[in-house]
Structures are given as structure tokens and as C-alpha cells.
Structure 1
Amino acid sequence: MTKDLTKEDLENFQSAYEKTPCADVIARAVQENGVTAASKNFAAKANHDYVFSVEVETGKITNQKKSGRCWLFSTLNTLRQQVAKDLKVKDFEFSQNYDSFYDRLEKANMFYEKMIRLAERDDDDREYLFELEWGDEDGGQFANAATLINKYGLVPKSVMPETFVSENTSELNDVLNLKIKKDALEIRKMKKAGKTEEEMRAFKLEKMKEVYRMLVYAFGKPPVKFDFEYRDDDNQYHIDRNLTPKEFFDKYVHVDFSDYIDLTNAPDHEMYKHYSLSNQDYLFEGEHVTYVNVPIEELKAAVIAQLKGGKAVWFGCDVSKDMDRENGVLDTDLFKKGELFDIDLNLDKAGRLATRVGECSHAMAITGVDLVDDKPVKWKVENSWGEKNGNKGYFIMTDAWFDAYVYQAVVLKQFATDRQKEIAQTKPEPLKPWDSLG
């Protein structure tokens, strides 16, 4: 039997509050400064020196600004390292806008395809409603970036620079999602009227023309061919004429995305299993979103091996937890909110995933680690929030924060164990779109 709170309950609550030591002092501190500031642990600063025993050389910090393209920025940041070294251009940067254009185009196409596939489902069907809500946003995964790059190539940033919209995507997100969701209702009407899949796909292609036009207005027209012109760090002039984006990628970026493996640490799932999240794929051909679930120590070992091999590591985490954005610190000891309220706020990683308190919300690149007696104590992180955040754009991540809030890392297979590589060859178990890893 359910029961509302009574007057007696409220009196008991107030009585318990009044017996709490220093309750009014704490209340004044929280009310004046907020929960985060009132709970900040000054002593944690002792562990935040920017000295690392292993570091990868990197270029100028990038800035995704007000967009959700962290996954693309971090992918391109890990790829540019080799190109910058080969060309002797330390601050070389790929165009994020170029691949953003095709990212949104392909997402729109996949959205329409899903609406065609789900057109017979009930209006309250869970998968239909999930995909309808997902729409066409600017978030993504490493595998999405890999597939885009394999299909469309890359260009230098100077060839297709950022626009106001590429750096501030919320307005486009609103109008683009309104447009495609309106079209989704038309697809359902067509299905009910007995139209064939061919007729619905013809409708899709007409609507994709409109999407393409919107994206050109927002991001600019992607180049078909371009001249790659630059001066290296020795001030020597170079030019490579009449390249396609695919030719540029093949010639200057020596990477095979099939050589990578996506390791995850999701304790709410069975360890040493291969999982797939097909709802996050938006190309039928190419790299797919899959994970090999391993203990956190194995994931860290692979990351350390790749850093020692001189290569940065793409990783996904829950960045908003225990973060000092201004100073660029990720530390589980940074705030004492449980002590502040005198309550137990400890929830393990599996519990956070199971309750959806935890999620993989942001991607960055790990570019260094500080090892003491061969054990990691802190990590250097290259973010994509510009130089005004953190230490000129870099963040420091304690090893305890890594354990708690890092969910995935993409490493070259040469740095993975034989067991991990064998698991990656098995048929993945498909996860539902609303899985905690989604």
C-alpha cells in the first residue's frame, strides 16, 4: 500500500536535521557557493602536477566549440600526429567540418532507412520511438569516424574551414531533426497506404536532396579536388596539386582502420565477450561499432603499450563526473559531496551503468602517462575544448578517475593481447539500442 508523507514524518525529518552537527554552517556554505564549490577538496591539488614519464608529441589544441563532435575531433587528433611528423608541420590539422558534412548526411540517410524498416511498427513501439528520438545529432563513435574517412577521405583544415554552424550546431540540430521527423510521419503514411519500399526509397532520395541543400548552406560545399599547399616548420614551400580527398588520405595518412580494436570496460556486462551496437552504425558497409569487454587493468595495459609505442589513444569517458573544467582536472578525490551531505554516494561502475547514472559522454585522446614502479598514477589528456580550458587545453586524469569513468579505448591490435584479438574475431552479441553501452 502506498502512503504519502505525513505531518509527523516532516517533524521527524526536521528533528533529525537539527541534531546534525554543524548543519546550519554547512547549509550556509552550500546555499552561498553551491554543492560543487562547497565540497571541493583542496588537498587533492597535491596530485595535479603536469609531469609524465611517458608522453607523445602533439600539436596545437583543437576546439570543437559548441558542437558534439568530440568523437571526430579526437579521432582526427590521433591521426594528425603521424602526418605532422612526416610533413614536418607540428600544428597540422585536418578539416573537421569536411567530415562533419558527410556525417550528418549519412546519419539522415540511415534515419530514413530505419523509418522505412520500422514503418509497420506501432506508434508506441520502443525501438521506433528510440530511433525517432535519436534522429540526426552530431555525436558519434571512433568506428563512425573510421567509416566516414574510408568512404570520403580527409582534407586539410585550410581547404574546408569551420563555419559558424559547424562550431555551433544546436540550431541546425533543431531544424534538421524537425525536417526528418516530419518526413518520418510521411513514410508511415505511405506504408499504411500500401506503398512499396521502392516508392518509400524514392521519397527518401527526394528528401535527401533537401538535407544536402541544408548542409551545404550550413557547412559549405565539400571540395571534390584541391591543391595541398603548405610551408613546413623549416619554412620550405610545398604544393601537391589536384588531389581528391580520398587521394589525400591514401597518400598522406598511413592508417588501416581494420588494425584497431575497441576495448571497453563495462562491469555490468560479461567480461571477455564481443558486443555490437548496430543502431550506432550509419553506413551499411564499413567499420561497425563493436566492443571487446575486458577488465580495466587490461584496458590500461593496452593504452600504456600504445603510448610507449609513440601513439596517442582515442578513449571514451564520462567527462562531467568529478571534473574541474577550468583547471583541467579529472580526479575522484576532487570533490567530497558525500562528506558534505553526510551520505553514502559510493556507487560502483557497474551500478552507475545499470542505473544510467554513468554513461560514455565524451571522447578525447590520451597522450601521456606517469608511471611509478611501472604502475600508472596519472594520465595526460588532449581535449578538444580549446586552450582556455585546463592547462592550455590539456587535462590531467588520475588513475582512480580512469578506473571509475573511462569506458572505452581504441588501440592498435599490435598492442592488444592474443586473447583480446581472438575475441574480436568472434561473432559479436548484438546489444539493444538502449543498452547502457549506447
Structure 2
Amino acid sequence: MNMGSTPSKAVQSEIREQRESEKATYVTRELAQSLAKLDLSAPLSVDGSLSLSNVDAWEDDVTQSPKLQLARTILNHTNIRETLTSRSSYIADAHVFNTELEFKTGPITNQKSSGRCWLFATTNVLRYNIMKKLNLSEFQLSQSYLFFWDKLNKSNYYLELAIQHADLPVDDRLVYYLADELISDGGQWDMAVNLLETYGVIPQPLYPESLHSSLSSPVNTLLKTKLREHALILRDLSASLRADPAISADAALRALRSKKEALLKEVYVVMSATLGVPPRPDEKQTWDYYDKDGKPGSWTGTPREFYKAFAYDKYSPADSFSLINDPRNEYGKLYTVDKLGNIWGGRPVLYVNTEIENLKQAVVKQLKAGQPVFFGCDVGQFSDRNAGVMDTALFEYEAAFDIKFGLTKADRLRTSESSMTHAMVISGVHLDAAGRPARYKVENSWGDVPGDRGYFVMSDAWFEQFVYQVVVPRALAPRDLVAVFDKGEAQTLPPWDPMGSLA
């Protein structure tokens, strides 16, 4: 056979068989080695209950370890997070970055007692352009404006799903799950795009915060109670309509949606009373302001017009998409999550799954292009809120307790140990001598007290383990990943998949 020629099918088959045989031999050998390491002696508890003999044996081991005895002396009366914090991590995670956005925005925002981080992250990205264009020193878009329209649309989305699945038993897993997760404060990038493209944005003074936009739990509790009641009403009506052979499927759907709209009025009444009546997206508003030089300015227009005029320049939110790193699933593929959305019939939540290095490169490329970066992560893992540090080496649990953490990123997703819980903005990165990220500057939405006046620092190791999503404009994304997104052939994950968690 000549060099570079294609082997025959018979030869290819032999090669495959040989490889499969070698693989089987390897797996068998590995299994044998693993079994050889197992302790196959009889357990102290024959029936599987906890045996005091085990406790005695464990205690004997601990009493012979000076390190564990010292841990007992110290840790029974101190906070383990404070006591086991790594000094070296604080030193390594300096709030210093050699690659930052040139234009600085402010003030640091505060979502307070609400789960609106994704809306704060979105508006913090958008205000970068607005403040540059209008020469502002401080500025906020109205997060509560988007919050109102999102909550109202999520209520409609839930009731549409109730109609769609009215034939399923009420204790079906899907029905039960949807009733539990019906109107979360959280959201995803594509859901933010739905709101931006439909309702636009407005400056915060035109629809300011209310008590219940900043303290969302009481209103959420009330709305969930009513919406679950509404869903049962629609289920009962659906059953009655289906039982009548004279009523067509189309007529039944029209009747159900008419009833749904009547029920949604109650949601609107509660929301408009507690959050305030929002401007309509096509309603003209006048905003008066001072620029950073103290010069007064004024703008009149609709929220949609404000969005189109100021919120972006080269990189439209609608032209950006999510890269995720989910090691459970195949890379180079497009994924979506079933039943996840806010605006019925709107843009679906879509993720292009890829290696973590591509997420890092997307961050660096955007920052060098002068673009802040929306990202989703599991903020509670190995982080110090007060110091504003996120680092996998932050707490020395393994040394103190003589244990090892063996879960991989994929394992954490599989076992509900981790998921996207928070969205923030990356506005800087510190690159090492080889041009690789060492740490990242993160703009949070928890006020200006935590961290370095509201900014957090994230180590590169933490990024690898607990960052799941980076939003990138298609013009700055790798061409092969843009092609995956454009192809649109998405694999659908179930509603309860960790990638369906809302930041």
C-alpha cells in the first residue's frame, strides 16, 4: 500500500477490530487492578446500618493523627471558612489587571434581595455604550422595567404550558417541575434578548426601583399561589372542552387562551401595584440628565428607540450568543433546554458547547475589542463575598480534614453539586508573560461594599471549574462555533437539566 493511500474497507475493518480488542484488553486490565485494590472483607454491619464498631475504629484512627487532633481543637469553636482561608490565595488574587476596558462605568449596582443578577449583568453591559455616547459619569438603566415585563411574560409562559400539557396527570414529573419553577427571578442571555428586542430599555429615573423589585420574595410567593390556582382552573376547563365532541381543538384553544388572559389580569394587578405601572415600549418618555461635565441634556423617545439609539454600537445583543462549557455533553454541538423561556414564541435559549479554552479566549478577545463580557457561573463555590475573591485554592479543607475532593466539573453537574447560579460582567483580565489569563476582574451587582468597591477577582483555576457560560458577539466568536450556532440543529436537554438553571 502506497504512503497516503486510503486503506481498503477490509483493512479498515481489521484495524477497527484490533483497536476494539486492545481497548477491551485495557478496560479488563484496569478493572482487574481496581478490584485488586478493593477491600472485600466482610463489613462490620451486615445489614447496612451504622455500626458503633465503625465509629470506634474511625475514632482510633483520628486519635493517632496529631493534625486531626489539632483540627478538633480549633474548628469546634471557629468558623471553618474564616479559619481555613488561604493567605497565599489572597496574595495571589490581587485586584490588579493589565488588560482592562478603557472606559469606566458606575456606580456599582445592587440587586439587593432579588434574583435579578442576569438583568443587572445585561444592563451593566449595555450601559458601557450608553455612557460613552452621552458622556456620562454615572448611569443605570432601569432593571425593574425589564423585571416587570419578564415576570409578566413568565406568568403567561407558565399558563401556556399549563394549557399545552393539560392532558398530563397533575403529578406527572414535567407538570410538577413546571409548577415548582414557574416564575423565577433568574434568567438567561437569550431571555434578556427577548426582553430587549420587544420592550427596549429606559434610564432608571423613568422607572425607578420599588421596595418589591429589590425585595422580590413576597410578591413571588403571592404570584406563585395565584398562578398554580390559575393552572388548575385551565386544566379543569381543558378537560371539559375536550369532553365535548362538538368543540373543535382550535375552538377549545381559543377558549382556554381567553380564560388565561382573564386570569392574567390578576397577575398584572398585583405587579403594577407592587412594582409600579411601567412605561409601554412604544410610549414616549422624556429623560433629563447632566453629563460628566455638568452640562444638562434631554432626550425624548420610546424605550425601543432608546435601546436602538444608545444601547449598542458594533455588537448587538441580538447578534450575540452563549458559549458554554459542559463536559457531560459533546463539544462542538448546539443545545437547548425544553420548556425554558420567558416570552412565548420568542427566541429559545441556545448554547454552543465547547472547550473551556474557547471561553477564555472569547473573554480576552472581547476585552481587547473594548467589550464587557456577560458570563454565568456558580458564585457560591470557593468564594469569599467580603473580600471579593473566587479561587479554588481559597479554603484549605483538604489539609485540615485529611480529605480529597474528587469531583470533576462534569461530576458536579451530574450530582447537583453545581450549576449556574449567578451572572456578572468581566471587565478586565491579568495576562501572564505567555499571554494566558491568570485572573479576571469581575463587576458584580451586590453593591460597593463587598470586594474592591464592588469588584471581585476570579482566578483562572476557578474560571475553569465554575464558569459555565460566556456570551460572545458573533463577530468576535470562532468561526466554527458561529457555524454550529447558525446551523440551528440543537439537542434538547430536559427541563430539569442543570443547564436549565437560571442565573
TM bin (shorter chain):
over 0.9
Residue 118 of structure 1: aligned partner: 165
Determine helix, strand or coil for the equivalent of 2:347. coil
CA–CA separation in structure 1 for the residues paired with 2:451 and 2:340: 31
Alignment of 1:33-432 (within 5 A): 33-56=78-101, 57-59=103-105, 60-194=107-241, 196-223=252-279, 224-241=283-300, 243-254=301-312, 256-372=316-432, 373-426=434-487, 427-432=489-494
Displacement over 4 Å in runs of 4+: none
CA–CA separation in structure 2 for the residues paired with 1:189 and 1:9: 55
- Deviation, structure 1 residue 191: 2.5
CA–CA separation in structure 2 for the residues paired with 1:69 and 1:2: 49
Is 2:413–2:498's contact at 8 Å kept on the other side of the alignment? yes
Residue 433 of structure 1: aligned partner: 495
Determine helix, strand or coil for the equivalent of 2:423. strand
Is 1:338–1:344's contact at 8 Å kept on the other side of the alignment? yes
CA–CA separation in structure 1 for the residues paired with 2:52 and 2:365: 61
Determine helix, strand or coil for the equivalent of 2:305. helix
Is 1:272–1:294's contact at 8 Å kept on the other side of the alignment? yes
Is 1:322–1:334's contact at 8 Å kept on the other side of the alignment? yes
Determine helix, strand or coil for the equivalent of 2:170. coil
Is 1:317–1:361's contact at 8 Å kept on the other side of the alignment? yes
Is 1:278–1:288's contact at 8 Å kept on the other side of the alignment? no
Distance change (3 Å), C-alpha of 1:331 and 1:202: same
1:319-364 CA distance string (max 9 Å, x none): 0001110011011111011222111113211111111101010000
CA–CA separation in structure 1 for the residues paired with 2:304 and 2:321: 23
Is 2:426–2:440's contact at 8 Å kept on the other side of the alignment? yes
Amino acid at match of 1:429: Q
In the alignment of these two chains, the number of paired residues is 437
Cα RMSD (Å): 1.4
Residue 28 of structure 2: aligned partner: none
Amino acid at match of 1:250: K
CA–CA separation in structure 2 for the residues paired with 1:297 and 1:425: 21
Is 2:190–2:348's contact at 8 Å kept on the other side of the alignment? yes
Residue 10 of structure 1: aligned partner: 55
- Deviation, structure 1 residue 192: 2.7
Deviates more, 1:29-38 or 1:298-307: 29-38
CA–CA separation in structure 2 for the residues paired with 1:49 and 1:386: 20
- Deviation, structure 1 residue 129: 1.0
CA–CA separation in structure 2 for the residues paired with 1:228 and 1:313: 28
CA–CA separation in structure 1 for the residues paired with 2:473 and 2:374: 10
- Deviation, structure 1 residue 199: 2.2
Determine helix, strand or coil for the equivalent of 2:66. coil
Is 2:68–2:402's contact at 8 Å kept on the other side of the alignment? no
- Deviation, structure 1 residue 10: 2.8
Larger radius of gyration: 2
Determine helix, strand or coil for the equivalent of 1:62. coil
1:22-76 CA distance string (max 9 Å, x none): 4332123222113212321112122122211111133221110010000010011
1:377-429 CA distance string (max 9 Å, x none): 01000000000111000001111111111000001111111111111112111
Percent of residue pairs bearing the same amino acid type: 35
1:24 aligns with 2:69: yes
- Deviation, structure 1 residue 256: 2.7
TM-score by length of 2: 0.84
TM-score by length of 1: 0.97
- Segments of 5+ residues of structure 1 without an aligned counterpart are none
- Deviation, structure 1 residue 2: 4.6
CA–CA separation in structure 1 for the residues paired with 2:67 and 2:304: 66
Is 1:317–1:362's contact at 8 Å kept on the other side of the alignment? yes
1:199-232 CA distance string (max 9 Å, x none): 2212210111111111111110112331021111
Amino acid at match of 2:388: G
Determine helix, strand or coil for the equivalent of 1:377. strand
- Deviation, structure 1 residue 369: 0.4
CA–CA separation in structure 1 for the residues paired with 2:125 and 2:146: 15
CA–CA separation in structure 2 for the residues paired with 1:278 and 1:6: 45
CA–CA separation in structure 2 for the residues paired with 1:55 and 1:111: 41
Determine helix, strand or coil for the equivalent of 1:280. coil
Is 1:95–1:154's contact at 8 Å kept on the other side of the alignment? yes
Amino acid at match of 1:210: E
1:119-177 CA distance string (max 9 Å, x none): 11122211111111111121101111111011011110010110110001111111111
CA–CA separation in structure 2 for the residues paired with 1:396 and 1:198: 53
Is 2:316–2:473's contact at 8 Å kept on the other side of the alignment? no
Amino acid at match of 2:304: K
Is 1:98–1:154's contact at 8 Å kept on the other side of the alignment? yes
Is 1:380–1:397's contact at 8 Å kept on the other side of the alignment? yes
Deviates more, 1:415-424 or 1:246-255: 246-255
Amino acid at match of 1:391: D
CA–CA separation in structure 2 for the residues paired with 1:289 and 1:381: 24
Deviates more, 1:186-195 or 1:316-325: 186-195
